[in-house]
Amino acid sequence: YWGIGLLVCSGIGAGQYVRNRRRSRDMKRHLTLLLLLFSAPIFTQSLPAWLYGEWDGIGQQSNTNTEWLTWMTLYRDDAVPAVDYPSLECSGQWELQRVEGKTWIFREVITKTVGRCSQHDWVYVRYHSEETLEVTYAHSWAPENIIATLTLRRRQLP
């Protein structure tokens, strides 16, 4: 009887009261779902075991007819591969974007001497052997046009 008395005193009908309760319950469900989605950990694709280690090589850029030394390192505790171009005096990291078949596709983010190296280029890495990786580069605005190639060789520890 108390519920009916409250409805009468508040001036709303039973139908409107039920609709308001449903809306409130639905809002709580949606809010709970959103909180779960945004608080859940984001799962990223892990890097392949063959990529770990220290690598070096000489890159060749076709559109400028230049060569440059490259060092790439990835250790177990690293989230992304670190890359250094000592002859160009710039360095940065490769951030994994996706995997297409046997090609691991990264975006290069230059963090040191930004103006000396192209920023946000596509980097395509293919496993060739335990000792060799084949790398190609493309500008961010033309990912289909390969502008440079690089063969990385695993550094042998003394």
The pLDDT tens digits for 68-96 are 999 999 998 888 999 999 999 999 999 99
- Enumerate the domain spans of the chain: 2-39, 49-154
Reply yes or no on whether the pLDDT at 154 is more than 60.
yes
CB 73 within 8 A of CB 91: no
Per-residue b or e along 109-135, where b marks 16 or more CB atoms closer than 10 Å to that residue's CB: ebeeeeeebbeebbbbbeeeeeeebbb
In CATH, the architecture of 49-154 is: Beta Barrel (2.40)
pLDDT at 17: 59
For the stretch 10-30, pLDDT in tens is: 555 656 655 666 776 666 665
Residue 130 region by backbone torsions, left for phi larger than 0, else alpha for psi between -120 and 50, else beta: alpha
Round to whole Å and give the CA distance between 93 and 50: 17
For the stretch 91-145, pLDDT in tens is: 999 999 999 999 999 999 999 987 778 889 999 999 999 999 999 999 989 988 9
- pTM metric for this prediction: 0.69
Taking every pair of Cα atoms in the chain, the longest distance, rounded to a whole number of angstroms, is: 89
H helices of the chain, where?
Answer: 2-10, 14-39
pLDDT at 23: 72
Query: What are the residues whose beta carbons fall under 8 Å from the beta carbon of 111, sequence distance 6 or more?
Result: 91, 92, 93
